[in-house]
């Protein structure tokens, strides 16, 4: 999906990391901890997002398909259209677990859970 | 291309950034400054690499196709098979210039220069 301004197609990982994640109402619900990349292809596997502000303090990160993060320039961050209830039931784990075994298990679970179109099929 | 150990398919951007880049002889020639991602697709556009150690102090970064960075676990870094002369003549610029106008200009120039197969065609 094209970004609002059309000027942010090329985005630096350093700028993505630490960026605020908001819900559609504009409320801050999380932050991007990291972006998981596939070394053997040219693909972004998923973003690892913390939703501690919404779900309470915990050490888990949610794997979120890249295309679910909508960049909003005036919001200075990304908007995701996911409810608190959906996040509470969503796949989440430590970063080490998210990336274990090539990251495929959590990638597949996340894409299935959010019904995101699989970029690899 | 699969990695040596097969265990590093899923790699965190935070771990890629700052990683050493070496030539095939094992000599350190540079460092990964950042990874440029495409927000409108699931693709990694290119890595932004500094080769200051090899080319001398300067403010420029080289856009390097992601598939040219071969991860070597025992080398604790990435190996690129590019000579100093090739790097001296290669496309390079400030990070702002590399990512301007959706990053396409430098991406295309880099893939052409290194004769890397275009992931987008």
A42 contacts on B by Cβ (under 8 Å): 43-44, 66-67, 119
**Structure letter (DSSP) for residue A60:** -
Contact B40 A3 (CB under 8 A): yes
What pLDDT score does B1 carry? 39
A114 min Cα distance to partner chain B (Å):
16
Work out the mean pLDDT of chain A and round it to a whole number.
90
- The pTM of the full predicted model, rounded to 2 decimals, is 0.91
Q: How confident is the model at residue A91 (pLDDT cuts 50, 70, 90)?
A: very high
- The tens digit of pLDDT for each residue in A13-24 reads 999 999 999 999
Contact A39 B119 (CB under 8 A): no
ipTM of the complex: 0.90
Work out the mean pLDDT of chain B and round it to a whole number.
90
A69 min Cα distance to partner chain B (Å):
9
Contact in structure between B20 and B76 (CB atoms under 8 Å): yes
Q: Which residue has the higher pLDDT, A35 or B74?
A: A35
A103 φ/ψ sector (left φ>0, alpha ψ -120 to 50, else beta): left
Nearest to B38 among A9, A17, A45 (CB): A9
Q: How far apart are CA A68 and CA A80, in angstroms?
A: 6
- The tens digit of pLDDT for each residue in B36-62 reads 999 999 999 999 999 987 888 777 999
Mean pLDDT of B108-119: 97
B38 contacts on A by Cβ (under 8 Å): 9-11
Chain B residue with CA closest to A65: the answer is B42
- The tens digit of pLDDT for each residue in A61-89 reads 999 999 999 988 776 899 999 999 999 99
What pLDDT score does B68 carry? 97
Which two tokens mark B66? 């992601």
Angle, alpha carbons A120-B65-B88 (nearest 5°): 180
What pLDDT score does B75 carry? 64
Q: Which of A121, A68, A71 is closest to A90 using CA atoms?
A: A68
A102 contacts on B by Cβ (under 8 Å): 7, 9-10
């Amino acid at each position: 999906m094209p970004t609002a301004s059309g000027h942010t197609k090329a985005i630096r990982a350093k700028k993505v990391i630490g960026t605020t994640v908001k819900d559609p109402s504009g409320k801050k619900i999380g932050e991007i901890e990291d972006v998981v990349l596939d070394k053997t292809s040219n693909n972004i596997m998923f973003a690892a997002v913390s939703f501690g502000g919404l779900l309470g303090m915990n050490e888990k990160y949610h794997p979120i398909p890249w295309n679910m993060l909508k960049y909003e320039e005036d919001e200075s961050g990304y908007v995701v259209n996911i409810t608190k209830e959906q996040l509470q039931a969503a796949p989440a784990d430590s970063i080490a677990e998210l990336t274990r075994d090539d990251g495929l298990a959590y990638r597949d679970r996340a894409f299935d859970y959010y019904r995101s179109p699989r970029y690899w099929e």
